[in-house]
Amino acid sequence: MKKTLLFISLLILSVLSTQATRPKYVFYIIGDGMGINQVNGTEMFYGELTSKTGPLPLLFSKFPYTTFVSTYSANRGVTDSAAAGTALACGEKTNNNTIGVDADSLPIYSIAVAAQKKNIPVGIITSGEIDDATPAAFFAHQINRNNRYEIGVDMLAAGFDFYAGDKFTQPSPEGKKSLYDMIPKANYTLALGIQEYNRQSQVASKMILFPQKDFPYAIDRKPGDICLADLTRCAIDFLQQKGNGFFLMIEGSKIDWAGHSRDGATNFREIKDLEESVKLAYDFYRKYPDETLIIVTADHETGGVVLGNGNYSLNLQALQYQTMSGIAFTKEIENLRKQNTEISWETIQKALSHAFGFWSKLDLSPEQEAHLKKIYEETIHNQQGDLIKSLYENNEPIAEAAKTILNEIAEITWSCSSHTAGYVPLYAIGLGAENFQGKLDNTDVPLLIARIAGYE
């Protein structure tokens, strides 16, 4: 009898000890499209800005545990965001273009749902659309990632405590009830902007935070524009009020967007911008080091960026002179078209100088200048030619040419404008971070988090 009681006592102590060593707060941070070379490129770029030879490390690249993650999907060697997001959310491979279902199209459930079932407050935030593939993988079950209205319905049905990102892309298709009308009936309070969040967060039981305007790229941000770090602060504030810890997924979506458009300066600034949210998570970890786990990873690599062109040199500091994204420059050209019946080459040169530093900060070769002038003659002076499309942008040909030339000057190249099968990095710090060692598959990541945090 004494032996039995001793065994039971030891078992209880073992369980209590295990529970005490579980992280109470989990930050799951995903840089969409953030491959290894893009992280390295960001660090090399900011290193060059300080006259340093070599990288200036990002905060998360100094985390004590670092490894590599494979990203292939169930039916393709190169994944898309839907399948990769599902793998990172649910721990299971699925087919490209599908969200929150397995390879047989049957629903599967995410680590966020597992946390919710343990009465852990859950937040999902993104700098892209809230109904896009990666955030949707945590709450939706759709055989087509483009079912944006249905993803919105799934989002409200999932009932997580806090959502934030760009607005619904299909809020009210013809013949269907508006998602905005469904928000209060699902017990959510909608805030448009940080000021509305501050007014309503103390009395809201569940919260949706949308910006008043669309999220800009970090390179295009103006004073007063909302950013991912703003959403991160609000999410931490709201979820912590709930008590019982929290699970927070943070996605930096526009790293991927800039990769698809092969925009080096914009891509590196998006990664640097994601670091601002990582810093907030890290500050939280410093307050609660024995209760917090932070994971920073990516769903896939976009664009296949290569640093250097074979001559053993880089000129990444040239990227500092780009002051706007390709899509922002396209809008400038659109405005010039509206204002003028004829746009002179000198006007375009001035615009290119302001946006990319050409002539004022950076010298162009005769061939580069001739190429820009040829595109001007064809597409602006003679008004011929279509916009050049990438997955998220439709840009003026001269904007695309300017980005290409700036990449040439910086001596970086892009292998493609889509995803690759390249490994992505993973960085971990906090309680249980030592479990993230050795080469991993993307399906391993949420399963490890669930085991460490006790969501199983």
The set of catalytic residues is 81
Is residue 371 annotated as involved in ligand binding? Answer: no
Round to whole Å and give the CA distance between 305 and 312.
Answer: 16
Closest CA to 214 of 252, 266, 167: 167
What Å distances lie between residue 59 and 112, 250, 279, 296, 446, CA to CA? Answer: 25, 16, 7, 11, 22
What are the structure tokens assigned to 103, written together? 């390879």
**Half-sphere exposure of 435 toward its Cβ, with a 13 Å CA cutoff?**
18
What are the structure tokens assigned to 424, written together? 């992505």
Closest CA to 125 of 189, 180, 207: 207
Task: For residue 417, give the amino acid letter.
Answer: S
Is residue 300 annotated as involved in ligand binding? Answer: yes
Provide CB contacts within 8 A for 282, sequence distance 6+: 59, 294, 429
Task: For residue 154, give the amino acid letter.
Answer: D
Is residue 161 annotated as involved in ligand binding? Answer: no
First to last CA, the chain: 33
Is residue 381 annotated as involved in ligand binding? Answer: no
Q: Which element (helix H / strand E) includes 166?
A: strand 162-166
Round to whole Å and give the CA distance between 251 and 270.
Answer: 11
Q: Which residues pair with 370 in a beta bridge?
A: none
Provide CB contacts within 8 A for 52, sequence distance 6+: none
Round to whole Å and give the CA distance between 165 and 218.
Answer: 15
Provide CB contacts within 8 A for 386, sequence distance 6+: none
Q: Which residues pair with 243 in a beta bridge?
A: none
Closest CA to 290 of 19, 6, 13: 19
Q: Which element (helix H / strand E) includes 422?
A: none
Task: For residue 108, give the amino acid letter.
Answer: I
Is residue 290 annotated as involved in ligand binding? Answer: no
For residue 12, report the phi and psi dihedrals to the nearest 5 degrees. -65, -45
Q: What angle do CA 255, 258, 262 make, to 5 degrees?
A: 130
Closest CA to 345 of 371, 373, 385: 373
356 contacts 364 by C-beta, under 8 angstroms: no
Provide CB contacts within 8 A for 249, sequence distance 6+: 28, 29, 30, 89, 112, 123, 124, 125, 135, 138
Please spell the DSSP secondary structure of 366-396, one letter per residue. HHHHHHHHHHIIIIIIS--SPPEE-SS-EE-
Q: Point out the annotated binding site.
A: 32, 132, 134, 251, 256, 260, 299-300, 419
Q: Point out the annotated binding site for Mg(2+).
A: 32, 132, 134, 251
Q: Point out the annotated binding site for Zn(2+).
A: 32, 256, 260, 299-300, 419
